[in-house]
C-alpha cells in the first residue's frame, strides 16, 4: 500500500463532546486494543492545484458589486446615524419638556381662578350700579317728560283759556247787544 500524506484536518475532526473521530470511525465509537487503522477509508485529498484564470474576470464584477453595496451600506449607515441622532435629540427634548411640565405642576397653583372671580365680582357690581343708574335715569326721564307735558298743557291752556274767555266775552257782548236791541224795540213799540 502506498502511503499518502494526510493533513491533520482530514485525519481528525472534533465532535461536540470533545472526542476525536478517526477516518471511517463513527462518532462515539472508541478504538479497542489491537484495532488497526486503515487509510483506505479516508476521503481523497483535495487537489493541490486550482485554476485561477477565470477568477480574474469574475473578480472585477464582484469588486464592482461589492463597491456599490459598500456605497449603499455607507449611505444607509449615514441615514441610520442621522435617524439615531434625531431620536436622541427628540428624547432629550421630551425629557426637558417632561421636566418643565413636572416643575410647573409642582409649583403652587397660580390662583388664576381667584383673580378671575375677583374681577368677575367687580364687574357684576359695576353692572348692578350701571343698571340702577340706568333705571334711575329712565324714571327721571319719564318724570321730566310728564313735567314737560304738564308745562305744555299749562302753556297751551292759558292760551286756549284766553281764547275761551274771549269767545265767552264776545258771546256775552253779542247776547247783551241782542237784549239791548230787544229792549229798545220793546220800549219803542
Least trusted range by pLDDT, from 100-109, 136-145, 167-176: 100-109
Query: Could you give the 3-state DSSP secondary structure of residue 22?
Result: strand
Dihedral sign, Cα of residue 105, residue 108, residue 111, residue 113: positive
Query: Could you give the 3-state DSSP secondary structure of residue 14?
Result: strand
> Distance between CA atoms of 121 and 129, rounded to whole angstroms?
12
- Write down the pTM of the prediction: 0.30
Residue 100 pLDDT: 92
| Domain boundaries defined on the chain | 59-107
Q: Are 28 and 61 in contact (CB under 8 A)?
A: no
Model confidence at 60, in pLDDT bands (50, 70, 90)? confident
Q: Are 41 and 24 in contact (CB under 8 A)?
A: yes
Least trusted range by pLDDT, from 50-54, 111-115, 120-124: 50-54
> Distance between CA atoms of 52 and 35, rounded to whole angstroms?
43
Residue 9 pLDDT: 46
Mean pLDDT of 93-110: 86
Mean pLDDT of 166-170: 91
Q: Which residue, 15, 18, 34, is CA-closest to 26?
A: 15
Mean pLDDT of 33-62: 67
pLDDT tens digits, 22-44: 445 555 556 666 666 555 566 66
Mean pLDDT of 94-103: 93
> Distance between CA atoms of 20 and 29, rounded to whole angstroms?
9
Residue 16 pLDDT: 41
Higher pLDDT residue, 154 or 98? 98
Burial class (CB in 10 A: 0-12, 13-18, 19+), 11: middle
Q: What is the 3-class SS of 122-146, one letter each residue?
A: HHHHHHHHHHHHHHHHHHHHHHHHH
pLDDT at 1 over 50: no
Amino acid at each position: 500500500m502506498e502511503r499518502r500524506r494526510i493533513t491533520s484536518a482530514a485525519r481528525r475532526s472534533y465532535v461536540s463532546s470533545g472526542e476525536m473521530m478517526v477516518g471511517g470511525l463513527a462518532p462515539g465509537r472508541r478504538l479497542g486494543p489491537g484495532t488497526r487503522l486503515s487509510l483506505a477509508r479516508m476521503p481523497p485529498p483535495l487537489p493541490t492545484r486550482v485554476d485561477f484564470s477565470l477568477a480574474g474576470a469574475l473578480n472585477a464584477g464582484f469588486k464592482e458589486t461589492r463597491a456599490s453595496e459598500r456605497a449603499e451600506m455607507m449611505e444607509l449607515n449615514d441615514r441610520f446615524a442621522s435617524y439615531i441622532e434625531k431620536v436622541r435629540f427628540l428624547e432629550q427634548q421630551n425629557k426637558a419638556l417632561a421636566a418643565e411640565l413636572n416643575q410647573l405642576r409642582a409649583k403652587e397653583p397660580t390662583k388664576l381662578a381667584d383673580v378671575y372671580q375677583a374681577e368677575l365680582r367687580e364687574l357684576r357690581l359695576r353692572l348692578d350700579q350701571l343698571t340702577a343708574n340706568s333705571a334711575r335715569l329712565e324714571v327721571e326721564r319719564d318724570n321730566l317728560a310728564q313735567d314737560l307735558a304738564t308745562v305744555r298743557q299749562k302753556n297751551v291752556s292759558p292760551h286756549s283759556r284766553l281764547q275761551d274767555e274771549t269767545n265767552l266775552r264776545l258771546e256775552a257782548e253779542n247776547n247783551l247787544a241782542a237784549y239791548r236791541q230787544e229792549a229798545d224795540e220793546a220800549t219803542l213799540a
